[in-house]
Amino acid sequence: EAGVVQSPRYKIIEKKQPVAFWCNPISGHNTLYWYLQNLGQGPELLIRYENEEAVDDSQLPKDRFSAERLKGVDSTLKIQPAELGDSAVYLCASSTMTGGKETQYFGPGTRLLVL
């Protein structure tokens, strides 16, 4: 079974430029997450989708960040314009229920460097 796929794996951009990340979750996983991970920190939730609906985007900085999951499968996360402080790893995860409990499966992440 293929895991969560993310692209690109690495991205270097100049500040004020736009950037987009793509995620393909595990087949059949209805729940999709985008996390931000800074160096030396744990993942922090940006947004959670149930199918195509964003059910928790309270942590998403909506002035510059946007996300979509139009058909309830793939998702994109966009930053426009990027700032120096956005340099981090952006993780996508999808989840399934096992024994009544949710388990998240993470992609390899996209490492963003804003210069």
Partner 1 sequence: DQQVKQNSPSLSVQEGRISILNCDYTNSMFDYFLWYKKYPAEGPTFLISISSIKDKNEDGRFTVFLNKSAKHLSLHIVPSQPGDSAVYFCAASASNTGNQFYFGTGTSLTVIP
Chain residues in the site for partner 1 (CB under 8 A): 4, 6, 31, 33, 40-45, 48, 55-56, 91, 93, 101-109
Output the smallest distance, CB 64 to partner 1, in A. 22
The DSSP result for the chain, as a single string, is ----EEE-SEEEE-TT--EEEEEEPPTT--EEEEEEE-TTS--EEEEEEETTEEEE-TTS-TTTEEEE-TTSS-EEEEESS--GGG-EEEEEEEEEEETTEEEEEE---EEEEE-
**Shortest distance (Å) from residue 16 CB to partner 1:** 27
- In this complex, which beta carbon is closest to partner 1, that of residue 17 or of residue 97? 97
- Closer residue to partner 1, CB minimum distance, 14 or 50: 50
Instruction: Give the nearer residue to partner 1 in terms of CB position, either 16 or 97.
Output: 97
